[in-house]
Structure 1
Amino acid sequence: MSTHRNPLCRGPYGEDGTRSDGPDCSDPAVFEVTRHHRPALRVCPVHLGPSLLLATAVLWPPEIRLVGRASAPSA
């Protein structure tokens, strides 16, 4: 799966609104975290844990879906 097709990570806080640049993370999103009355938050593996603890309106117990694959590290 090409990383160009995956949306970029929005974690760990899940900035909403008119900001389209998002956080400084440029990794592809691999997980989608469901939130209450907000769009689902798509995050990379590094930001999955912090998003569960820090993002606004995350459901508990959390609902997490796999939406992509992490790219293999380059040798």
Structure 2
Amino acid sequence: MTDRENGGLAGRDRTASCGGPYGGESGPGDCGDPARFEVARHLRAPLWVCPVHLGPSLLLADGVLWPPGIRLVR
């Protein structure tokens, strides 16, 4: 099965939850919606967010690259 057939999540949890609203390092955020985007961050794990929390995470999450590196994961 290719990465494309797998929904772009080869080797990853297909039910990943949103880490929003701002990608707190203490654990997943309060959202719980399925993550649709991966936001690249400097010296941190990528932040997985839903469409609602994409904008706030770009503005307020720690270590977000600029220009932001955003990837659609589903």
Q: TM tier, shorter chain?
A: 0.7 to 0.9
- For structure 1, the residue ranges without an aligned partner over 5 or more in a row are 69-75
Checking the alignment, whether the CA contact within 8 Å between 2:20 and 2:30 is kept in structure 1 is: no
TM-score, normalization by structure 2:
0.77
What CA RMSD, in Å, does the superposition of the two structures yield over aligned residues? 1.6
Q: What letter corresponds to residue 66 of structure 2 in structure 1?
A: W
Number of residue pairs the alignment of both structures matches:
63
Q: Which of 7, 12, 16 is the aligned partner of 1:7? A: 16
TM-score, normalization by structure 1:
0.76
- For structure 2, the residue ranges without an aligned partner over 5 or more in a row are 1-6, 8-12
Q: Secondary structure at the match of 2:71?
A: strand
Displaced runs of 4 or more, over 3 A: none
Q: What letter corresponds to residue 10 of structure 1 in structure 2?
A: G
